[in-house]
Amino acid sequence: MKSKFIVIEGLEGVGKTTACNTIVDVLNYQGIEDIVFTREPGGTPLAEKLRELIKNSVENEEITNKAELLMIYAARIQLVTHVIKPALARGAWVIGDRHDLSSQAYQGGGRCIDASLLRCLRNTIVDDLKPGITLYLDLPPAIGLKRAYNRNSLDRIEQESLDFFERARERYLTLAAQDDSIITIDASQNITKVNTQIKFILKSWLNQIGENKCIGTHG
């Protein structure tokens, strides 16, 4: 049986929050109400504390790339163990705002961290947990960062160079091309078009895994 874990991915300001709401609409329309939301890093009391450390600078101390990576995976193992796996085990659906693919893109692509270290962490920490489908919202980083900047001041990662985000985007696209459970969506379209595409992809996938009870009539 396919995993009921749906992940939304992409760089800053691509519209992940908006997309999560659309995913909920589609699931609700199928009569699915038991839905757990997660965000990464975060989602448990400890993981939320780590999120603060990851997103903010520490006075008089540079956060090294590997320290950042380990904090992200520490947060992930807490979330996977205490929230995601128990939810899936009781039959709930999980919608994840980011998951392991973010680490492959940001830390692997953006920070150029060695692939063998990332593989080792992923195998140890996420192990057999694989999203059923990942929707990757693709957008040139300059556009997404502008949207993020218009909303609030930029955090430690958002202040990275455009090159950093270009490398992360390239890694996202490379990994999406290698894995047919990762679907790339053009997030430079207007919100209505992005939402329509998300609904179509999700309904097709639900149909494919035998979960679509009301094909073709919703928005």
Q: Report the interface residues with ligand T5A, using CB under 6 A.
A: 10, 12-18, 39-41, 55, 72, 98, 102-103, 106-107, 147-148, 151, 157-158, 187, 190-191, 194
Instruction: Please identify, using beta-carbon distances, which residue of 40 and 138 lies nearer to ligand T5A.
Output: 40
Instruction: Please identify, using beta-carbon distances, which residue of 172 and 205 lies nearer to ligand T5A.
Output: 172
Instruction: Please identify, using beta-carbon distances, which residue of 49 and 209 lies nearer to ligand T5A.
Output: 49
Token pair, residue 208, equals 């494919």
SS3 call for 199: helix
E strand map for the chain: 5-10, 35-39, 93-97, 133-138, 182-186
Tell me how far, at minimum, the Cβ of 210 lies from ligand T5A, in Å. Answer: 30
Residue of 198, 167, 157 lying closest to 15 (CA atoms): 198
Q: What are phi and psi of 189, to 5 degrees?
A: -75, 165
Instruction: Please identify, using beta-carbon distances, which residue of 39 and 203 lies nearer to ligand T5A.
Output: 39
Tell me how far, at minimum, the Cβ of 97 lies from ligand T5A, in Å. Answer: 6
Q: Do the beta carbons of residue 191 and residue 15 sit within 8 Å?
A: yes
Tell me how far, at minimum, the Cβ of 128 lies from ligand T5A, in Å. Answer: 19
Tell me how far, at minimum, the Cβ of 61 lies from ligand T5A, in Å. Answer: 18
Q: How far apart are CA 65 and CA 70, in angstroms?
A: 9
Q: Which residue is nearest to ligand T5A (CB)?
A: 15
